[in-house]
Amino acid sequence: MIYGERIRQVREMHRLTQADLVKEVPSLSQSRLSRIEKDLAPIDDESLALVAAVTGVAVGFFSRTPTPGFSILSPQMRSRSRLTQGEKSAALQWARLVDEEYQNLRHGARALPVRLRPTPGATPEEAAAEARRTLGFSPHQPLPYLILAAERAGVTVLGLPYAIETLDAFCAWRQDEPVIALLDGVPGDRVRFSVAHEIGHLMLHQPGQTGPEIEAEADRFAAELLTPLAALRGAMPHNPTLSALVMLKTIWGVSVKSLVRRAKELGTVDGDRALSLYKQMSSRGWNRREPGYVPPEKPRALRKMAEIVHGAGVRTERFAAMAAWSEELALNVLAQHATADELPHEPAPERPDPTNVIPLRPRTLKAVR
């Protein structure tokens, strides 16, 4: 059986209208495609093969029983500017596609318990402190990585091979399981802030809550999670220059613009100085791309599970066949998830203060006769 919902899914993934798709599949008319998507008319094998070729899936994909989409979960959508309905639908359908395979792979792996929990009634700063404890980080250290820590805390993180200027990430709850979807083409510092922002939504807000106040709270949470004011106070120079902030960026893994805001909150710059720094950044073109390297982070779990199911190295053709995707689509999805070589280095454990260590006198062992 062919499901019309599956045809609509891949069409929306590629932001194609029905009129756009029938241009690629001349054997279909728009009215007939509309009926096919509603399961009111059959589709011939030749037309179905063309739809599959255009949208990057295998013909068998259309026979798979559709699963509930993320729109049902009322996700939080973090956009940097106006997000169109078509862009939103495409992001949700891509997340649905990747999440379905994530769930299929989980049958062959042990799921980690969910340790990240909502914190009703907490302030963004209180929730951020709780998140640091849950993720296994001290209150005062820069976070060496964030996505891997979130996955270890039971968060499903999906990398989508889809990029648009209006959206970096979004999140949702699947029953009691938190889900974060990351779009492609986002710089390392912005990825970290986006993930932190989405964790803020998961811990602070109910599904479907929207509005400027909600976004502002998630931003406050993200800033405190990544750059706690108490820890940053000792690192932030008085009246910092842009060069000094770029150096801090590489240590803390956040944007210079975010550090300017934190400097203002700390009182190391006033409003006029902050405005001057923003203007300097704009004149240098830093609004599009800042200097200062922040290593890119990717989710790991999907690829790790694929390695468990398909073997080390993941044979792409086998992975694609089981997902009913084209090999190109399988490669693109896998590329959004880290290989073992792409994982961040674990931080060295903090050494105890030598002034608090009591030296012990070496003990002489007597020979046993």
* For residue 210, pLDDT beyond 50: yes
Q: Is 282 helix (H, G, I), strand (E, B) or coil?
A: helix
Predicted structure pTM score: 0.89
Q: Which of the four pLDDT bands, split at 50, 70 and 90, describes residue 225?
A: very high
Distance CA 316, CA 320 (A): 6
Q: Among 17-31, 193-207, 345-359, where is mean pLDDT lowest? A: 345-359
By C-alpha distance, which of 25, 23, 52, 28 is closest to 41? Answer: 28
Q: Do residues 321 and 101 touch, judged by C-beta distance below 8 A?
A: no
Q: Name which residue leads in pLDDT, 350 or 257.
A: 257
As a residue count, the chain comes to 369
Q: Alpha helices of the chain — where are they, by DSSP H?
A: 4-13, 18-24, 30-37, 45-55, 85-106, 124-135, 147-152, 188-204, 212-226, 229-232, 242-252, 256-266, 271-283, 301-310, 316-323, 327-335
Q: Is 302 helix (H, G, I), strand (E, B) or coil?
A: helix
